[in-house]
């Protein structure tokens, strides 16, 4: 039995909190809007009256959307000044490496532990408690929260003692997915243009040369032009692409494919496809 808070109850935060409740943990939840918290209270969680109250839990998981949300919630709000020393904050968000460093420093200044733990896996994977967790931070802190990781994930990958190491791995994973979507879109467009059945083409590729969730899942979405409901939106994909390009720039490394993808994502957003699944960037290919 553990006392843990979950902050941020969006598409990923809700199943993570629900699995912790099901595992018998004492879970406190906080969200800016009430409805997601209502659902989890009905499932057995307790509602925190404020962010500061949630931060009084020994372990805090946060599942927020981007750099801005993390900065506003944990750094600019001053909540860390009111957080008890010894609390461990586990940040599951995909954020920039720069913010990861700033967040680690801000937490350390107030005696609050900080672990970066972004995840690989969509909502159904989160619901099944089978996420891959990319963890970085002080080893002792990761040891402390490992039993909770075992509830929400199938494997924890320990990537280093600096939080930004986990964030760069998540950013690069998403970058490679975007590259795969782009190449799939090009190949499916050419196959369809020559009269090959797109669905059969994707089935052939994913059964032989490119088995795996990325090519199979996104390949079928592209072949069927199926972009709703979105498992991961184009807007979020563009955000993560920019995180990769920014990190590369910081290290004087070029990502030529990333520069191409920037234009593709920008055009998809301009075409009003920001809320569609990011597989929709394949529609930028001529048909």
Asked if the bond preceding 229 is cis, omega within 30° of 0, the reply is yes
What was the pLDDT predicted at 285?
A: 63
What was the pLDDT predicted at 284?
A: 86
Which residues fall within 8 angstroms of residue 227, CB to CB, at 6 or more apart?
221, 273, 276, 277, 279, 280
Angstrom distances, CA of residue 283 to CA of 159, 204, 257, 268, 273? 36, 21, 17, 8, 10
What was the pLDDT predicted at 34?
A: 86
pTM of the predicted protein model: 0.94
How many helices (H) and strands (E) in the chain?
Answer: 12, 9
Distance CA 108, CA 190 (A): 53
What was the pLDDT predicted at 241?
A: 97
Enclosing H/E stretch for 91: strand 88-91
Q: List the catalytic residues.
A: 170
User: Over its length of 287 residues, how does the chain's per-residue pLDDT go in tens digits?
Assistant: 469 999 999 999 999 999 999 999 999 999 988 889 999 999 999 999 999 999 999 999 999 999 999 999 999 999 999 999 999 999 999 999 999 999 999 999 999 999 999 999 999 999 999 999 999 999 999 999 999 999 999 999 999 999 999 999 999 999 999 999 999 999 999 999 999 999 999 999 999 999 999 999 999 999 999 999 999 999 999 999 999 999 999 999 999 999 999 999 999 999 999 999 999 999 986 44
* Domains of the chain, start order: 3-161 (3.40.50.720), 167-284 (1.10.1040.10)
């Amino acid at each position: 039995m553990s006392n843990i808070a979950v902050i941020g109850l969006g598409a990923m935060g809700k199943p993570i909190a629900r699995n912790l409740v099901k595992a018998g943990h004492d879970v406190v939840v906080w969200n800016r809007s009430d409805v997601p918290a209502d659902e989890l209270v009905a499932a057995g969680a307790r509602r925190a009256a404020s962010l500061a109250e949630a931060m009084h839990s020994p372990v805090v998981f946060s599942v927020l959307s981007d750099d801005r949300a993390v900065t506003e919630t944990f750094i600019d709000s001053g909540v860390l000044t009111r957080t008890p020393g010894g609390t461990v904050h586990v940040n599951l968000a995909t954020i920039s490496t720069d913010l990861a460093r700033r967040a680690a420093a801000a937490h350390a200044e107030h005696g609050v532990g900080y672990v970066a733990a972004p995840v690989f896996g969509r909502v159904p994977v989160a619901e099944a408690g089978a996420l891959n967790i990319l963890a970085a931070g002080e080893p002792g802190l990761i040891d402390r929260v490992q039993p909770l990781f075992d509830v929400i994930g199938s494997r924890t990958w320990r990537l280093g003692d600096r939080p930004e190491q986990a964030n760069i791995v998540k950013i690069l994973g998403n970058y490679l997915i975007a590259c795969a979507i782009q190449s799939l879109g090009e190949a499916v467009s050419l196959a369809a243009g020559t009269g090959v059945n797109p669905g059969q083409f994707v089935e052939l590729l994913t059964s032989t040369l490119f088995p795996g969730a990325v090519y199979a899942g996104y390949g079928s979405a592209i072949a069927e032009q199926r972009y709703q409901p979105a498992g991961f939106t184009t807007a979020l994909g563009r955000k993560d692409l920019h995180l990769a390009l920014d990190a590369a720039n910081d290290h004087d490394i070029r990502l030529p494919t990333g520069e191409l993808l920037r234009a593709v994502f920008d055009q998809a957003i301009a075409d009003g496809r920001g809320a569609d699944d990011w597989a929709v960037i394949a529609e930028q290919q001529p048909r």
